[in-house]
Amino acid sequence: MKMSSVRLSLSLSGAVIGALLLTSCTVGPQYVKPTVATTPAFKEQPPEQFQESKDWKPAQPGQPLPVKWWEVFGDPRLNALEEQVAPGNQDLKIADAHFREARAMIRLNRSAQFPAITVGAAASSIRDSDHQPYMPTNLGSTGSFALPFDFSYEVDLWGRIRRTVAASREETQASAADLASATLSIEAELAFDYFELRSADSQKQLLDDTVNAYTDALRLTTNRFEGGASPKSDVAQAQTQLDTTRAQDTDIAVQRAQYEHAIAILIGKPPAAFNLPRAPLDLEPPVIPVGVPSQLLERRPDIAAAERRAEEANEQIGIARAAYFPTLTLGATAGLEGTSLLNWFTWPSRLWAVGPAVGQTIFDGGRRRAGSEIALANYDAVVATYRETTLTAFQQVEDNLAALRVLDRERRQQSDAVAAARESLQLFTNRYQGGVDNYLQVITAQTITLNNQRTAIDILRRRMDASVLLIKALGGGWDVSKMPQQAAL
């Protein structure tokens, strides 16, 4: 009869659990992806690259950049350096650790969807006081031997646990996008520093050649002075010009060393263990597929991370609203309890208890309401962050498209200026050698020529930097399909 009652209780409890699980619901708003204003094309986009844009579709970017986007520059040294970023950079290891932490958090929160079963054996000898009230005296000591198994399960009636697990999944996706964003940023920083270093090498080569030319010019003025054809002031001017250029040539080494050290850190090496041979910058910016503004929502990992956190914030609203509803916990205990080792594991020592417990907060001084307001405010902030991140991405693309367009025109103009300066220098040098002009005209022409040549190198540097920054602004070779899918987490 007792066994029948146990079975009946367990059957009723099982029926109650099944009914509650079937009737459970999820409170809180359903997530709708926040809208972002886009345009059919970038303002600074070349007309030949214009494409009509359709509505945003996940993981279908057009005109994708290669995954190893740096290969578009065609520089083997840069390719070799970029390959060392992933295994060596410490910031990427930090981002990867955060991603693994977020993935483990899913399992931690998912464990609440299952019952907790605990067991704990206890054995003790007990002697009650002879003088305790309402108890007979001289009971002596007794034994207590217990082996209970406890079962506890919270029925997720209102979706709090499910939303917590979902929020963990969305945070994991955001962390994966954070890792991709960190990777892209470091790869772009490496390319940026590399072209800065190569530009310094170009400046160094130009100044070395100029020092040699000014040395020849000093020799010319010295010979003319010794021959009585030129005054001593010409020699002094030539010497000043040479010494000034030598100082500029020496100063370039500081800038180059700093970029070389920065590259070493980016690939995870101490600066003392890294050396990059000199190589002047002789590349041209590649043609970069730009696409349309809406594709940034697919290509940019930081935008994807912000959007995932918007859905995570939406889940937090539901979690906060679930606090208004009662909680249902199913508990059960079964085991053996005896007064000695002899009767501990006998049938009469069995014990059990099973039943549900419902809890409802009646008054909390506004805590739940404040929690809901916090969740709503956080959602609004996260959505605004998502939109601001997207708008900033549009700005970065426009900025670098404009820079490339303007700098390309400036390059052509500067090339004409360099050619004219060289011709002017040659003319004034010939006139000086012929005794028509004084050496001040040569000094002026030398200064103008050197400044124009250095400006031409600087324009090339800025064009290469803008190309790197444009690729970074476009998301590199990344797209949202590379985030871990919800079903796989």
| Cα–Cα distance list, 112 to 154, 156, 485 (Å) | 8, 9, 22
Greatest Cα pair distance, the chain, in angstroms, is 136
Quick one: pLDDT at residue 43?
Answer: 87
> 22 and 95 share a domain?
no
One-letter amino acid for residue 62 of the chain: G
| Final residue in a domain of this structure, among 359, 382, 413 | 359
In angstroms, the CA 54 to CA 57 distance is 8
* Residue carrying structure tokens 């370039």: 252
Is 287 in the same domain as 421?
Answer: yes
The residue behind tokens 């986007």 is 69
53 in the same domain as 10:
no
pLDDT at position 488: 81
Instruction: Provide the domain limits for residue 474.
Output: 31-114+159-324+366-488
Q: Based on the domain organization, do 127 and 260 belong to the same domain?
A: no
Helix, strand, coil percentages in the chain from 3-state DSSP, rounded to 5: 65, 10, 25
End-of-domain residue from the set 359, 383, 410:
359
Is the Cβ–Cβ distance between 154 and 328 less than 8 Å? yes
CB 234 within 8 A of CB 438: yes
Contact 142, 126 (CB under 8 A): yes
On whether both 63 and 99 belong to a single domain, the answer is: yes
Q: Return the H-helix or E-strand segment holding 354.
A: strand 350-359
Q: How far apart are CA 259 and CA 252, in angstroms?
A: 11
Q: State whether 132 and 220 are in the same domain.
A: no
Q: Do residue 8 and residue 134 come from a single domain?
A: yes
Cβ distance 403 to 479 under 8 Å? no
CATH number of the domain that 348 lies in? 2.20.200.10
Torsional sign, CA 206, 208, 211, 212: negative
- Asked if 292 and 41 count as a contact pair (C-beta separation under 8 A), the reply is yes
Query: Are the beta carbons of 142 and 62 closer than 8 angstroms?
Result: no
The reply to whether 400 and 445 lie within a common domain is: yes
What is the pLDDT, as a whole number, of residue 292? Answer: 84
Domain check: are 57 and 72 in the same one?
yes
pLDDT of residue 10: 47
Pair 148, 277 in one domain = no
Q: Total structural domains in the chain?
A: 2
Verify that 257 and 129 share a domain, yes or no.
no
Assigned token pair, 19: 């009914």
pLDDT at 141: 65
CA dihedral 86→90→95→98, nearest 10 degrees, is: 130
Element (H, E) at 327: strand 327-338
What is the CATH classification number for the domain harbouring 262? 1.20.1600.10
SS3 45: coil
Q: Which of 335, 359, 383 is the last residue of a domain?
A: 359
Is 242 found in the same domain as 198? yes
Paired residues of 402 in beta bridges: none
pLDDT per residue rounded down to tens, the chain (489 residues): 344 444 544 454 555 555 455 456 888 899 999 999 888 888 887 655 434 333 333 333 345 688 899 999 999 999 999 999 999 999 999 999 999 999 999 999 999 999 999 998 888 877 766 666 765 555 556 778 898 999 999 999 999 999 999 999 999 999 999 999 999 999 999 999 999 999 999 999 999 999 999 999 999 999 999 998 889 999 999 999 999 999 999 999 999 999 999 999 999 999 999 999 999 999 999 988 888 888 888 899 999 999 999 999 999 999 999 999 999 999 999 999 988 888 889 999 999 999 999 999 999 999 999 999 999 999 999 999 999 999 999 999 999 999 999 999 999 999 999 999 999 999 999 999 988 889 999 999 999 999 999 999 999 999 999 999 999 999 998 988 888 988 888
Whole-number pLDDT of residue 41: 87
Q: Specify the pLDDT at position 317.
A: 97
